[in-house]
């Protein structure tokens, strides 16, 4: 008798297994297919990223080489970098914006350069290093036309210890202070820069000369 009950129990387990397989097997297959599709989609996304990055790199280098040619049309190159920035992945987008702004400034379109630097400075997708650089370059190019108080507020965070642009920011901060008539602040920034062993010799020497020109 125990053998018969065992066989009945075995048949019941087998029957339950068949019913569960019919009920859930399709779902299990669907999950497997979904996982495979997601993996394939991720690989495809990575491939597209690599392709877009390679295309952006080629475009960036081609534009850069064009600016080095004798008689190069720098204004056209600036527009080319701006167009590249609109299509390129984040990294090349940032570099293209910086290059476009630099060429705008070089060709006398300071207002357009400032607009690009301001855009990049507020771009949360850009690396903080480049956002800070955009702020530094904005202030440097706005010295003649910008509001002194606003420029001082914008450059001040970059002069703090630990900032990658601290040394050139101190020089720009000193120039802003001179613009505002704050000789004491200018001298303080220049003296700190002249004593900064991490700054380049050129920056330190220029800071010493500027400080000397301010008097005691």
158: DSSP letter: G
Q: What is the largest CA-CA distance in the chain?
A: 114
* pTM (predicted TM-score): 0.72
Find, among 120, 113, 125, 173, the residue nearest to 149 by Cα.
Answer: 173
Pairwise CA distance, residues 43 & 91, whole Å? 20
Render pLDDT for 158-216 as a digit per residue (tens, 0 to 9).
Answer: 999 999 999 999 999 999 999 999 999 999 999 999 999 989 999 999 999 999 988 76
3-state per-residue secondary structure call for 183-215 = HHHHHHHHHHHHCCCCCCHHHHHHHHHHHHHHC
Pairwise CA distance, residues 156 & 179, whole Å? 15
| Structure confidence at residue 47 as a pLDDT band (50, 70, 90) | very low
């Amino acid at each position: 008798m125990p053998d018969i009950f065992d066989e009945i129990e075995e048949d019941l387990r087998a029957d339950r297994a068949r019913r569960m397989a019919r009920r859930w097997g399709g779902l299990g297959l669907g999950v497997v297919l979904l996982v495979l599709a997601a993996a394939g989609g991720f690989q495809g996304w990575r491939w597209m990223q690599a392709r877009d990055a390679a295309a952006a790199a080629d475009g960036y280098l081609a534009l850069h080489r064009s600016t080095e040619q004798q008689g190069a049309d720098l204004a056209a190159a600036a527009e080319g970098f701006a167009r590249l920035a609109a299509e390129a992945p984040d990294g090349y987008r940032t570099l293209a914006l910086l290059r476009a702004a630099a060429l705008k400034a070089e060709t006398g379109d300071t207002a357009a350069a400032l607009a690009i630097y301001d855009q990049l400075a507020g771009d949360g997708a850009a690396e903080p290093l480049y956002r800070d650089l955009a702020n530094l370059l904005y202030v440097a190019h706005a010295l003649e036309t910008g509001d002194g108080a606003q420029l001082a507020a914008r450059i001040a965070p970059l002069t703090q210890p630990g900032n990658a642009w601290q040394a050139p920011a101190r020089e720009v901060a000193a120039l802003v202070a001179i613009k505002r008539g704050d000789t004491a602040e200018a001298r303080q920034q220049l003296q700190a820069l002249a004593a900064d062993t991490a700054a380049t010799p050129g920056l330190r020497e220029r800071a010493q000369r500027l400080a000397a020109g301010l008097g005691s």
